[in-house]
Amino acid sequence: MDPSTSSAPSDRLIPELPNEILLIIVQHCPRATLKNVRLASRGLAQVADPYLWRKVALVPNEYCIYGFLNAVRRFQILGLVTKLTYDARFGGFFQCMKHIKPDLARPRSEQEKASIESILDRLSGGCFTPHEDTGIEVAILSMALRALPNLREIRVEDYDDGDMEPYPTKIPQFYRLIARSIKVNLDTKNCRQFVGAHGRSYTKGILTAAFSAGSRLQAIKLKNLDSRPLFGVAPKDTSAAYQQLRIFKNLVQYAHLLDLSFLNDTFITTGRHIESVQTLLRSARRVKTLKLRLTDYSINIPKYSDEEEVQSDLGALLQSPSGSWISCAMMPQLQALTIEACICHDDDLMHFLNIHASTLRRLELSNMTLLGVHDRRECWVKLIKSLKRHLKLTSISFSGWFSNGGRQQWFVAKDSVGTRRLKARVERYVVDSQIRECPLECVAIQPNESDVNKPASGEEIEGDVTWAMVYTKHPIESMDWHPQAPSFIVSSGASSSPSPPTSVGDVNDLAEECASHWDDPDEPTTILEDSDDLALPLAHFGEFPLPSHMVEAKQLSPIFQSQLQSPPPLHTGVPETSSHDGASPPIWSFPLPNIQCPGMSTKKA
C-alpha cells in the first residue's frame, strides 16, 4: 500500500470552524467571555474586537471623556466604536458617595475621609453642571466624536423617568471605577439615590457636538427628555433658538431610526414645544423607524379632571402654519411606528397614520388615551376597526393602558401568552383581511350612547388575562399592583362569586394553556432582536404586574403563579458596556486626581 494514500487517524488535521459559525458564536458571547476570547490568538482578537468595542458608555465628565480617549487611542480601536451612550442620569453620584460607608472591616480615619472627600470634589468639578460649562462640554465632546469615524448611533439618557430599579445591573463604568477605588460596592447600594436633577439638557450639548464633528448618525435615541431646557420656555423667535433647532434638523436628516421620549408634564404651549417636535419629524425624511413617547395619561389620572381642558399631543403635531392639518407624509419612508404614550383624539391619530399609510407596515401602541367630553366618549373599538380598514399592516401590537376617559379602561399585557387569548385575537383581526368580526364588539360604544352601557345583569365583561377590562373612573387609585393572592373578577355587583366565561375570552382553560406555555421554568428566556435593536423576551408575561382582581389564584398553575409574582426582568435593548456581573468591556483607567489616601492602596483597573 502506498504510504502517501494512507494516514493514521491521529495524523489527520482537525478541520477549522467555518467563519459564519464562528461569528455567530462570538455575537452571542457575553462580554466577559469576549475579553478572554480576544486573548487566545490574534485571529480571534480580530473577530472579537468589533463586537467588544462597538458600544461605549460615557458620562458628562471631562475625566471620563479624556480618560477614554487617552486609554484606547494607542490600541487603534476607535474605528470599531459604532454606538455611543451618553448617560447623564446620575447627577448626584459624587455628593452621595461622601456619605456612603465603605466595605471595610475598620472605619475610616479622619485623614482618610478628608482625602476621599478631596478626590470626590476634584472629580465633581469635572462635571458639566452649570450652564456656563455648555461651551466646554461641546468642545470636549466634539473632539471625542471626531475620533470616532464610524459612529452611527447615539443614545442619550438625560433624566430618570422614575422607572429605574433600586439595584440596576447597569451603571457607567466610570462610576464603578471611582467606587472601587474608595472601597464601595455599588451592587449592594440603592442606585436611585445617585440620580440628581441637573436642570439642564445634556442632549442639546451632545447633539451640538455631533453637528460640529460632522457625524452622520443613522440612529438617534433620545430618552427621558425634558422639553423645557431642550427647547426653552419662551417662543422660538430668537436667533439663537432658531439656530439651535436648525442644528437638530441637520442631524436628523440622515437618521434611519429616531427615538424621542419625553418626560411627563414638560410640554409648554407658550414655548411651542410640540411645534419643535414637528419640525424635527418633518426634517427626518429618511426615517424608517420612529418611536414617540409624549404624555402618559395613565400615570397622571389623579392630576386631571373632566372639567380641565387637556390638549391633544397629535393635534398640535399635525397642525400646519395656516391652522389646517398637514396633508402630506411627514416622513415619507416610515415603515415602523411605536407610540409608547400619547393623549389624542381618535381623528388625530387616524390622520397621522393615514398620511403614512402607503409605507407604514408595523405599528405598536402603548399607554394611549382618547380625549372626549361628558356627553360623548370616543370609542377604542371604533378606532381599532379604522386601523383595519385604512391601513395595510403586517404587524401590530397593543400593550399597557388604553382609556377613553370613561368606562373603557383596558390593561393589555406585553405578551399574548397564547394564540387563543384576546390580545392575540385582536391583533390578528387588524392584520388579517379575512377576519370580519371584531373580538371587542361587545364592549363598543353603541350608537346614540355616550359611553359603554352597564349590563342589566350587573356582571361586567372582564376580558381575559391578556386584555383585562376595568370599569372605573380612576383605576390606578383602587388597584393593588403588587398582589399577594390575585383573583380574576371585575364585577359591578355585590356578589363575590366568579362569573361564567363571556364571549370575549374563556378563562376556564387558563391553567391548561399556561401549563403548555410554561413548559420548563428554568428554560432561558428567548430573545428576539428586530431591526430597531430592541430585545423582546418571548417568555415574559407583561411589562406590569396584573391587578389583584384580574387573575384567580386557583386557576393558575404553580409555574404561572411564580412567573406572575416575580416576573423576569424585561430587556429593552442591547446590554450596556458596563455590568456588575463582570460582563463589561475591557476597563480603561481614568486620569483621577493624584491624591493618595493613607492606609489605602489604589490599583489601576
Same domain, 48 and 146: no
| Distance in angstroms (rounded) separating the CA atoms of residues 581 and 368 | 37
What is the C-alpha separation between 92 and 573, in angstroms, rounded?
A: 25
User: Which is more confident, 300 or 340?
Assistant: 340
Given a cut of 90, whether residue 195 has pLDDT beyond it is no
Residues 169 and 32 grouped into a single domain? no
- Better-scored residue on pLDDT, 331 or 551: 331
CB 459 within 8 A of CB 499: yes
Residue 92 has pLDDT above 60, yes or no: yes
Q: How much is the mean pLDDT over the chain?
A: 75
Taking 70 as the threshold, does the pLDDT of residue 580 lie above it? no
**For residue 589, what pLDDT is reported?**
40
Q: How confident is the model at residue 72 (pLDDT cuts 50, 70, 90)?
A: confident
In a domain, 503, yes or no: no
Question: Is residue 78 one of the residues assigned to a domain?
Answer: yes
The domain boundary, picked from 263, 287, 311, lies at 287
Cα separation, 235 vs 227, in Å, equals 13
Residues 167-190 have pLDDT tens digits of 555 788 899 889 888 888 887 777
Q: What is the mean pLDDT of residues 542-562?
A: 38
pLDDT of residue 155: 96
Residues 146 and 35 in one domain: no
**What residue type is assigned to position 532 of the chain?**
D
* Residues 31 and 137 placed together within one structural domain of the fold: no
Give the closest residue to 197 by CA, choosing from 221, 161, 167. Answer: 161
Highest mean pLDDT, choosing among 43-52, 59-68, 383-392: 383-392
Provide mean pLDDT across the span 565-594.
40
Cβ neighbours around 236 below 10 Å, total? 17
The pLDDT, as a whole number, for residue 340 is 93
Report the chain's C-alpha Rg in angstroms: 27
Residues 214, 181, single domain; the answer is yes
Mark whether 42 and 57 lie in a shared domain. Answer: no
Q: State whether 191 and 78 are in the same domain.
A: yes
pLDDT score at 12:
54
Residue in the block written with cell 386601523: 387
* Top-confidence residue, 16 or 322: 322
270 pLDDT more than 70: no
Cα 155 from Cα 455, distance rounded (Å) = 49
**CA 368 from centroid of its chain's CA atoms:** 16
Q: Which residue has the higher pLDDT, 316 or 380?
A: 380
Q: Is 483 a domain residue?
A: no
- 10 Å CB burial of residue 524 (0-12, 13-18, 19+) is exposed
Residue with cell 462610576: 175
pTM: 0.73
Residue 601 lies in a domain: no
Given pLDDT bands bounded at 50, 70 and 90, which one contains residue 528?
A: very low
Nearest to 300 by CA among 290, 313, 291: 313
Domain span at residue 66 reads: 53-287
How far apart, in Å, do the first and last CA atoms of the chain sit?
A: 62
Q: What is the pLDDT of residue 396?
A: 96
Query: Other CB atoms closer than 10 Å to residue 212's CB: what's the count?
Result: 16
How many domains, the chain?
2
Same domain, 95 and 31: no
Which of 5-9, 194-198, 305-309 holds the top average pLDDT?
194-198
Would 175 be classed as within a structural domain?
yes
Average pLDDT on 313-319 reads 89
Q: Are residues 36 and 134 in the same domain?
A: no
**Residue 192 forms part of a structural domain:** yes
Has residue 80 been placed in a domain? yes
Residues 28, 32: Cα–Cα separation, whole Å? 12
Write out pLDDT tens, residues 455-508. Answer: 888 888 888 999 999 886 554 444 443 333 333 333 333 333 333 334 344 433
**Residues 112 and 227 grouped into a single domain:** yes
- What value does the mean pLDDT take over residues 87-111? 83
23-48 pLDDT, tens digit per residue, is: 888 888 888 899 898 898 888 888 89
Task: Quote the percentage of the chain above a pLDDT of 70.
Answer: 70
Inform me whether the pLDDT recorded for 149 exceeds 50. yes
- Of residues 226 and 166, more confidence is placed in 226
Residue 414 near residue 570, CB atoms below 8 Å: yes
What are the φ/ψ torsions at residue 87 (nearest 5 degrees)?
-100, 110
| Residue 59 and residue 33 share a domain | no
Domain boundary among 287, 312, 335: 287
Higher per-residue confidence, 261 vs 501:
261
Q: Would you say residue 307 has pLDDT above 70?
A: no
Half-sphere exposure of 534 (CA within 13 A, CB side): 15
**Nearest residue to 438 via CA among 403, 389, 402:** 389
Q: How many CA atoms are closer than 13 Å to the CA of 188, on its beta-carbon side?
A: 9
What's the pLDDT score for residue 578? Answer: 40
Are residues 101 and 34 part of one domain?
no
Question: What does the pLDDT average to over 330-341?
Answer: 95
Last residue of a domain, one of 287, 306, 339: 287
Q: Is residue 83 part of a domain?
A: yes
pLDDT (0 to 100) of residue 529: 34
Q: What is the DSSP string of 553-596?
A: GGGS-HHHHHHHHSPPPPP-SS--S--TTS--PPPPP------P
